Amino acid sequence: MKENIHPQYHKVVFMDMNSGFKFLTGSTKTANETIPWEDGNTYPLIKVEVSSDTHPFYTGVQKFTDRGGRTERFMKRYNMKEK
């Protein structure tokens, strides 16, 4: 492999914002926020909306509350009213 062209691979913690589920894995992503882990080390924290803990494909049910559809969120974000 050529040196200095690949992103740095390190351990990070991903946290599901809907359930609070956290897991430690390797990634090239970085974050400004950190969190102490069970092994006593501190790792970068990356927050995600959906993980295997809340995704209906893995759980068989929808765990997080209904936040509305894409159209509803768009309309709310830009203060628009549906016709």
Q: How do residues 14-35 score in pLDDT, each as one tens digit?
A: 998 888 889 999 999 989 999 9
- pLDDT higher at 43 or 69: 43
CA angle 29–35–36, rounded 5-degree value: 125
How many C-beta neighbours within 10 Å does residue 44 have? Answer: 17
Average pLDDT over residues 29-56: 87
Average pLDDT over residues 46-70: 68
pTM above 0.85, yes or no: no
Distance CA 29, CA 6 (A): 12
With 80 as the cut, is the pLDDT of residue 46 above it? Answer: yes
Residue with tokens 């062209």: 5
Distance CA 27, CA 2 (A): 19
Residue with tokens 């990634």: 27
pLDDT of residue 43: 95
